[in-house]
Amino acid sequence: MQRLLSQARWDARGVREDLRSYVVENLGHPQAVLIVDETGFLKKGLRSAGVQRQYSGTAGRTENCQLGVFLAYASPRGRALIDAELYLPKSWVDDRPRCRAAGIGDEVEFATKPALARQMLARALEAGVPVSWATADEAYGMDSKFRRFLEERRVNYVVAVPKNQIVAGASGRADTQVAAAPAEAWQRRSCGEGSKGLRLYDWALASVHYETEPGYQRWLLARRSLTPNARGELEIAYYLCHGPAGTGIDELIRIAAARWAIEECFQAAKNETGLDHYQVRRFDAWHRHITLSMLAHAYLAVTAAHAPKAQVAWSHSHPPRSAVSWHI
């Protein structure tokens, strides 16, 4: 296994292209969603490519870890991981001797996590992957270059943003806009099945009046919890949306909820195909291991989608003018 990952001659990126084609052939659908997210890999020592003390959402705290940025494909037929890049902090890229020792070529430059996400999305779109929407958490959604990239390529999106996000064309932050929403603007909706049944929240949708392409529209979407947190507050999540004019709140909620699919992919790949079970330090070896794990996970996803039980399950699922105006 070590020889396969570290010494044998093969192209991990080429295999990922085969993986993407395999997923599209078996799970492809025009209403599919591309999902971007990252996951952490806890490590000891200082020599594994990209390792340093950094925040890991997987651990929920700052740890010595590597961070991988992943792209998932989710359609009515199933979901699978189709691409990945190892995030290299600037402290690594600025230390070329350390990079060379970890198999990182001099041509590899520093790239933020949203920039890595754009690279993976570009590869998928240039390959003709059938997709209508994209979604991501606030680390990516708050990046204007990330959102502009999607708009330029006619990919609709629902992306999470922080509460202090300035809504384009508005005079205030996202939380200020939502705080001004009338009570009747909130609608209780399910965003799918969870481990404990339907995931119910209160949702509010506002049109954002800001320049966009003809036939398209922008929205601010808010999701409010039904029960207070430990501080006695109802938690609110915020999303910026861009898509065809007239898109309804139910469709935007569906896309927002699709982000959980990549979390399910991470859990399944780590539990079933060893996504985080590796003992390699080199940059190329990391990508090789991750590629093989994603390929195995995709095989399981396709097999499950073609199973009779899966087919049955899928057949049964499925004021004065201001910067925002609430949909009531």
pLDDT tens digit sequence for 165-217: 998 665 689 999 999 899 999 999 988 776 667 889 999 999 988 888 899 99
Count: domains in the chain = 2
pLDDT at 265 over 50: yes
The kind and range of the H/E element at 73 are strand 61-75
Answer yes or no: do 131 and 149 share one domain.
no
Residue 325 lies in a domain: no
Token output for 267: 């859990």
Answer yes or no: do 190 and 307 share one domain.
no
**What is the structure's pLDDT at 301?**
96
**What is the structure's pLDDT at 320?**
42
pLDDT at 21 over 50: yes
pLDDT confidence tier of residue 310, bands split at 50, 70 and 90? low
Mean pLDDT across the chain: 91
**What is the structure's pLDDT at 209?**
82
Answer yes or no: do 229 and 309 share one domain.
no
Q: pTM to 2 decimals?
A: 0.91
Answer yes or no: do 21 and 43 share one domain.
yes
Residue 6 lies in a domain: yes
Answer yes or no: do 4 and 125 share one domain.
yes
Mean pLDDT score, 145-153: 96
**What is the structure's pLDDT at 319?**
43
In this structure, of 60-64, 151-155, 297-301, the range with the lowest mean pLDDT score is 60-64
What's the chain's Rg over C-alpha atoms?
Answer: 21
Answer yes or no: do 36 and 13 share one domain.
yes
Residue 323 lies in a domain: no
Residue 154 belongs to domain spanning: 140-258
pLDDT at 322 over 80: no
pLDDT confidence tier of residue 248, bands split at 50, 70 and 90? very high
Answer yes or no: do 72 and 8 share one domain.
yes
Task: Determine phi and psi for 37, rounding to 5 degrees.
Answer: -165, 170
Residue 205 lies in a domain: yes
Residue 116 lies in a domain: yes
The Cα-based distances of 227 to 180, 199, 230, 296 in angstroms read: 21, 12, 10, 39
Answer yes or no: do 84 and 20 share one domain.
yes
Listing DSSP states for 220-280 in one string gives EEEEE-SS--TTS---EEEEEEEEETT--HHHHHHHHHHTHHHHHHHHHHHHHS-TT----
pLDDT at 321 over 50: no
**What is the structure's pLDDT at 198?**
82
In this structure, of 46-50, 83-87, 221-225, 313-317, the range with the lowest mean pLDDT score is 313-317
Answer yes or no: do 109 and 146 share one domain.
no
Mean pLDDT score, 7-16: 94
Answer yes or no: do 133 and 4 share one domain.
yes
pLDDT at 148 over 60: yes
What is the C-alpha to C-alpha distance for residues 279 and 150, in angstroms, rounded to an integer?
Answer: 36
Percent of the chain with pLDDT over 70: 91
Answer yes or no: do 1 and 124 share one domain.
yes
Residue recorded with tokens 């990945």: 84
Answer yes or no: do 14 and 34 share one domain.
yes
